Amino acid sequence: MTTKTKPPARGLKFTHNGHRYQLDGKPVTGVTTLIGGGIPKPALIAWAPRIVAEWVTDPANRPELDALLAGNRDHAIRELKSIPTKERDSAGERGTEVHHYAEIVANHGEVDVPEDLAGFIEGYVAFLEAWQITVIHTEMSVGNRTHWYSGTLDMICTSPFLANGKPVMIDLKTSKYVYGETALQNAAYSRAEFYGLEGDEHPLPKVAATYVAHVTPMDREGVNARYGDKPLGTSLYQLADSPEQIDQQFQMFLTAAYIHKTTKQREAFITEPLVAPGQVLDVAA
């Protein structure tokens, strides 16, 4: 009796449960995870305790704080420690929703948006119109077998005002600030070997330049407290002005990716302590 072996899965597969990619049937790390594991984020070290301090000193939270302190001490510590995580997750959910509606409006021109997100999309629509953006691709899954990574780019488009009308890549950020690491993120996406899922693979357009669009809400109550003195609406920042600069930033990405991928190797450097000369070990018989 002969058994047929199932051929290995081919192509990039995205699992919504867990937000993970597989490439050719094997787990593949995402671009943002590689960058996050390879580049320190000192701002986060200061951000987390500040968020807790702000929550504790907010008079509106006093009843909940008093209840926590009057109860189980371990429970109170867990709850206070979880405040930055809840804040981060809430911001991440808002960013995901803004990306969702931004993709629809970029491709179809109109969309029904919840009231709490309307300010974001109003500013984004104004940005699309001002720069005369013509979409080529949005929310596109990409992969690279040579360097073994995957991810989802936000937009490849053209504008008569950017890169002489050649295709450019724009990443959307809804965070309070934008950071230089986004240049490495876009470089990795630009140098992906293909886009497409389930083996339906196609080469990416040649990207002439990369940008980040900082999507913040139009002037509404409470915005300034969250975004400081940053311009409201959507602001565009250039990350790389040429394919050569994208290549340079891609090398930085590969360095960060190497640091992340070798984490377990570094952990294995420390083994059992050495025995000093003449030291007698107390070994049980």
Which two structure tokens, joined as six digits, stand for 12? 């990039």
Is 167 in the same domain as 50? no
Is 61 in the same domain as 118? no
Which two structure tokens, joined as six digits, stand for 226? 């969250």
pTM for the predicted model, two decimal places: 0.84
Q: Residue 165: pLDDT above 60?
A: yes
How does DSSP classify residue 163? G
CATH number, position 202: 3.90.320
Which two structure tokens, joined as six digits, stand for 110? 């109109």
Number of domains making up the chain? 2
What does the pLDDT read at residue 268?
92
**Nearest in space to 79 (alpha carbons), one of 50, 56, 59:** 56
Is 175 in the same domain as 226? yes
User: With pLDDT > 90 as the criterion, what percentage of the chain qualifies?
Assistant: 66
Q: Are 127 and 108 in contact (CB under 8 A)?
A: no
Three-state DSSP class for 108? helix
What does the pLDDT read at residue 88?
82
Query: Sorting pLDDT into bands at 50, 70 and 90, what band is 6?
Result: low
pLDDT digits (tens, 9 = 90+) for 170-193: 999 998 889 999 999 999 999 999
Is 224 in the same domain as 177? yes
In a domain, 273, yes or no: no
In a domain, 250, yes or no: yes
Angle between helices 73-81 and 42-56 (to 10 degrees): 130
What does the pLDDT read at residue 233?
83
In a domain, 106, yes or no: yes
Q: Residue 91: pLDDT above 50?
A: yes
pLDDT digits (tens, 9 = 90+) for 252-274: 999 999 999 999 999 999 989 88
In a domain, 6, yes or no: no
Q: Are 174 and 116 in contact (CB under 8 A)?
A: no
What does the pLDDT read at residue 222?
45
Is 52 in the same domain as 132? no
What does the pLDDT read at residue 5?
57
In a domain, 5, yes or no: no
Is 258 in the same domain as 146? yes
The whole domain housing 185 covers 12-36+94-263
Is 57 in the same domain as 188? no
Alpha-carbon distance 157 to 209, whole Å? Answer: 11
**Nearest in space to 256 (alpha carbons), one of 18, 41, 12, 25:** 41
Mean pLDDT for the stretch of residues 223-251: 82
In a domain, 280, yes or no: no
Averaged pLDDT score across all residues of the chain: 89
Is 119 in the same domain as 233? yes
Alpha-carbon distance 133 to 165, whole Å? Answer: 10
Alpha-carbon distance 159 to 210, whole Å? Answer: 12
Which two structure tokens, joined as six digits, stand for 90? 């809430």
pLDDT digits (tens, 9 = 90+) for 19-37: 789 999 999 999 999 999 9
In a domain, 20, yes or no: yes
Is 175 in the same domain as 196? yes
Chain centroid offset of residue 71 CA: 37
Q: Residue 117: pLDDT above 80?
A: yes
